[in-house]
Structure formats: structure tokens, C-alpha cells
């Protein structure tokens, strides 16, 4: 499977922070029901590995790991079933382990120098993070001019109000964000509301 193509087709990457891995399965079901069979489960909590395992076992959702900072976390994520690995910044060790394990790395890069460093590692798709405080959509447009082959996945500070600004840029592959999966809703078990937020986001991304 071409994971980058699947993320590009989905246009949205919900960024999930789970305190309890028991929420992983119903959350995945809620995203799938909303028409978005994609999740990035962040390694910010100890539940991440079990959550990735539970989601990937379903077989109906493309699961990646987020906030991956070390090669060891790459191994744990991939062993749990992650098929892509997102990092807030650019790490040679993470990129190389991803290559060894055959998963797509999405390293953070927001400056021309960081993008050149990613290109030197053979990576032409980067997470533009934190998007809102790094110049937002205008910064991506400006960087896309010299870096014609680079694709961006802006994340951080994006929601229904500014989603289209980013998705309308040809160099943007997909947009990441947590607005579809708010922690408080997940903790409260309000998965119906997650599905509603997801359905709305998918409609907005489709240009409706």
C-alpha cells in the first residue's frame, strides 16, 4: 500500500492523544463512521502502543504513530502496527530507522534549512509544525516556490475555520489536527460527537 497516497487521498490526519488504550477501538470506529479511516496516535502517553495495536488490529483504519522522537519508539510503533511515523522535528536516527522498517516518516520542518536537511535524507514530504505559529498558509506557499517537489502536512492550530486555506495549496498533501478528536470528548466516551466532528471535517475537506 502507498501510505502517502492514502493520506493524500484522505486529506486529513486526526491527531489522537489517548490516556486509556480502551478508548482506541471505539475512537477508531467513530472516525471510520465519520468517513475518515485514518489516525495518528501520539507517543505522548503510555497508552500509545496499545492504542496503535488495537486500532491496527481492526484492519479498517490507517494507523500511524505521532510525536516519535527516537529510533526505539519507531520500533515500538511499527511492532504495534503503525504504518507511518510522524515527528515534531527532523531526526536522522528516526528517518533511518523508518527506512529500515519500511514505514513512511513524516518529520517536522518549517524553515528552508530544515526542508533542505529533510531532502538530504531523501525525504520530500514533511510535517509543517506548528503550522499556525510558523507562518501558516502563506509560509507554506512561499516555501513551495523554491521546493517544488516537496509536499507538506501542516499541523498545529488548524481547525474548521482555516482548514481550506491550507488544503487549497497544491503543495499540501493533507492537514493534521486534533479538532476532530478532542481529548475531553474521548475521555467522556462521546464518540458520537467525534463522528459528527469528523463528518463535518470530511465535508469541508471535500470542498462542500
What is the nearest approach in angstroms of ligand 3PG to the Cβ of residue 163? 11
> Active-site residue numbers?
40, 127
Residue 148: CB minimum distance to ligand 3PG, A = 25
Instruction: Verify binding: residue 178, ligand 3PG, rule CB under 6 A.
Output: yes
Output the nine-digit C-alpha cell for 141. 506557499
Region of 30-38, 75-83, 173-181, 193-201 interacting with ligand 3PG (CB under 6 A): 173-181
Binding residues for ligand 3PG restricted to 113-132, rule: CB under 6 A: 129
Size of the site for ligand 3PG (CB under 6 A): 13
Q: Is the dihedral of CA 21, 27, 32, 37 positive or negative?
A: negative
Among the candidate windows 23-31, 161-169, 175-183, 198-206, which touches ligand 3PG by CB under 6 A? Answer: 175-183
Rounded to the nearest 10 degrees, what angle do helices 48-58 and 24-33 cross at? 50
Return the range that interacts with ligand 3PG (CB under 6 A); candidates 21-29, 140-148, 170-178, 188-196. Answer: 170-178
Give least dist CB 94 to ligand 3PG, A: 15
Nearer to ligand 3PG, 91 or 178 (CB): 178
x/- site string to ligand 3PG, residues 5 to 44, per CB under 6 A? ----------x--------------------------x--
Give the angle subtended at the CA of 136 by the CAs of 133 and 140, to the nearest 5°.
130
Scan residues 141-160 and list those touching ligand 3PG (CB under 6 A).
155-158
**Please, which residue, 61 or 69, has the CB nearer to ligand 3PG?**
69
Q: Which residues bind ligand 3PG (CB under 6 A)?
A: 15, 42, 66-67, 129, 155-158, 176-179
Amino acid at each position: 500500500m502507498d501510505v502517502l497516497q492514502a493520506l493524500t487521498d484522505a486529506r486529513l490526519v486526526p491527531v489522537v492523544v489517548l490516556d486509556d488504550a480502551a478508548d482506541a477501538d471505539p475512537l477508531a470506529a467513530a472516525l471510520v463512521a465519520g468517513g475518515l479511516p485514518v489516525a495518528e496516535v501520539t507517543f505522548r502517553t503510555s497508552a500509545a502502543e496499545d492504542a496503535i495495536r488495537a486500532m491496527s488490529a481492526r484492519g479498517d483504519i490507517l494507523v500511524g504513530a505521532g510525536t516519535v522522537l527516537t529510533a526505539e519508539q519507531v520500533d515500538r510503533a511499527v511492532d504495534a502496527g503503525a504504518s507511518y511515523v510522524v515527528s515534531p522535528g527532523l531526526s536522522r536516527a528516526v528517518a533511518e530507522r523508518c527506512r529500515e522498517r519500511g514505514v513512511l516518516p513524516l518529520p517536522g520542518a518549517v524553515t528552508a534549512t530544515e526542508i533542505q536537511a529533510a531532502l538530504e535524507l531523501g525525504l520530500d514530504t514533511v510535517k509543517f509544525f506548528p503550522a499556525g505559529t510558523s507562518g501558516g498558509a502563506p509560509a507554506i506557499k512561499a516555501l513551495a516556490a523554491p521546493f517544488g517537489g516537496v509536499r507538506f502536512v501542516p499541523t498545529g492550530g488548524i481547525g474548521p475555520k482555516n482548514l481550506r486555506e491550507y488544503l487549497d495549496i497544491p503543495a499540501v498533501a493533507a492537514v493534521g489536527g486534533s479538532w476532530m478528536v478532542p481529548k475531553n470528548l474521548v475521555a467522556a466516551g462521546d464518540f458520537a460527537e467525534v463522528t459528527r466532528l469528523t463528518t463535518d471535517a470530511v465535508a469541508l475537506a471535500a470542498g462542500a
